[in-house]
Structure 1
Amino acid sequence: MRRGVGGGLRRLWPWRGRDASALAEIEAEITAFGEALNVHSFSPGRPGATDEMRAELARALDAYEQAKRDFTGARTRADTLDALRALDEGRHALACLDALLAGRRPPEHMSLCFFDARHGQASKQVSWAPPGGVARNIAVCAADAVRLAESRSPVTPQPGQESRVRVQPRGSKPRTTPPVRAPQPQVSGKGGSGEQTHQLAMPSYRPAVMVFSTNGQTRVHLRFEGRKGRSSRLYRLSGDGTPITARIPLPEGNKAIAFRVFAAGDREAWTATAVPLREVPCFHDEINGTGSDVVHYRGEPGPGALHYAGPSLIQLEALDDCLAYGVTVAEGRAGEHTFQWPGRGYYQVRSAGAWSLSAT
């Protein structure tokens, strides 16, 4: 097993400027981890070495190499976050190796902060739910844990903040104004005729994706009010015989995203939630799915293949570092389509059926 790690990292970022200090800090962390691997006392061939120990060392080495690749090729903020996640994976692997060598139980892996990987290691699990959503346990850093605890504290209205009642002038007709709903990080409903405009609040972390899901099988058209950063405003979503789970990019620059839902029926419940990029599936060689999705290709530029077995047209679109539409890489109807991967990055699949992507 090759142990040669460490050494300096060559910076290749066209976006230095204000991010230079943060990038230098990440570079120092990766270099320090490589040095820790170099001086570690464990050898795969030592007496008493087990397959589990060798597997943890291999995981640490792989994570280090992945962190270097993500960092030296970093052209987007998302790439640096990938480097941090790979570094976190490597540190946990090394901690597990140390525990095995000492005869202890491997430590639990506490992931990076749910809200932003740049916050660092999570310190505790808390129960959290977006407004109107379902509560779940998430791992957060100490600062976010305090922020969440404070946000649950009751707020007492201050003098002068009481609601005011507007008096209707005598003889005038009452005005009926539909209620305006504040944007929320999770929006839910049943069916949809397109008459109501929903507002999905953009999260504090950027970029992000929308996860649109249904409880049952249905067909949905999702229409966004603004076209900025999109190849089109209309998204045709289908679970191809199963409930829908579709990821849709949310470009930067907006505080809220306005959209309308057109559903085949009015009984199926749906939810739309803003989630961080770590919810996007990563792959090097092959991935498959159904319906519209966002995927993170971590391979090299080169030939690729798109297999499609659904109705209508499928499109594969390259996204920029803000998840805005860049260029259409491949499109076609059912069958196999060859194309060229431009390189690592985020890609959007716009589809109404089953598909697979591969690097050939």
Structure 2
Amino acid sequence: MFRRRRADELALVDADITAFGEELARHAFVPTGQDSDALVFADYERALDAYEQAKRDFAGDRDREDAQDVLHALAEGRHALACAEARAAGRPLPARRPVPGLAPAPMNRTDLTAQAYSADPRTARGATPPPGKGAHWRPYKIWPPGTPTGQRAEATGYQMVELVRPDPGQPALLVVRMDAGGSAQLLGHEGMRHLIKRGSNARRTVVPLPANDFGTVRVKVAGHGPWRVWLQSLDEHVPVLESKLNSRGPYVFRYLGGPATIRATQNDGGTFWLEELTDDGEPGQRLIAGKGTCNGKGRLNGPALIRVRSSADWTVTLVQGTRRNWSSESGRRI
């Protein structure tokens, strides 16, 4: 009886895949010449990708529990198709519906913003929150409040964006945030560079841009889901290290005190290092470097702007001039 029930459940999942494929086949989006065309076709492409993913994931499944990834892919695909329909008709984007057996995840832009400002255990300690957002604002999750529209963009799928620098004569931070992975490249006068490579697990990058004579920055983004990209000043809304910071991946923070020692650790991952940035946003002195699971210490002579290069979880702690015996600590030293 149990074996028959499992077979019946899988038959329903298989039928659901077929039904979604038929839904996709019935849709034919025709270009209208409107700015929304690119987003409509990106959503439809995302729906097609989800359909193909569901078919791949279904191979070898033995019961409904095994097929949860299939149900998730189908839910992603149906939401993407609904977004394409809404954009084509000029309607608001639909909210995501929960998947049976899976926790619902917010998706529309309103929910994304709310999620970005929600409390989170990984919130950087010591970060100075922007006005109006209190301690729930999370640096590098969403652009700072009051960011002009010319300095920010959000979309789903593929798009080329051109952002206006806050002040061409001053350095800035370029932040790319993806909710479901993808790729991003910095184009034009900054030189073509991969910010996030296709196929990587990176969801966020924070890139210091030195001052120059160009007033705009161009970025090519291809996300598997919603993404956000923006420019912000190095003088505002940069997290401040007061005692401890922890996050994952690239980061930029500020230290405002006097001479002190900092300690940094990384869990797994590849190359890891901390470096000071000059007043012009250029790379300066390297403070700590290592690879994989590692820890080490560095010395700060005073106030500094510091860049973290990492692809894994990391922690930076302010030691405040203590004379701890570092050689006695366990773990790989940097």
- What TM-score does the superposition give when structure 2 sets the normalisation length? 0.44
Larger RCO: Structure 1 or Structure 2 (Cα < 8 Å, ≥ 6 residues apart)? 2
Task: Specify the structure having the higher radius of gyration (Cα).
Answer: 1
- What TM-score does the superposition give when structure 1 sets the normalisation length? 0.41
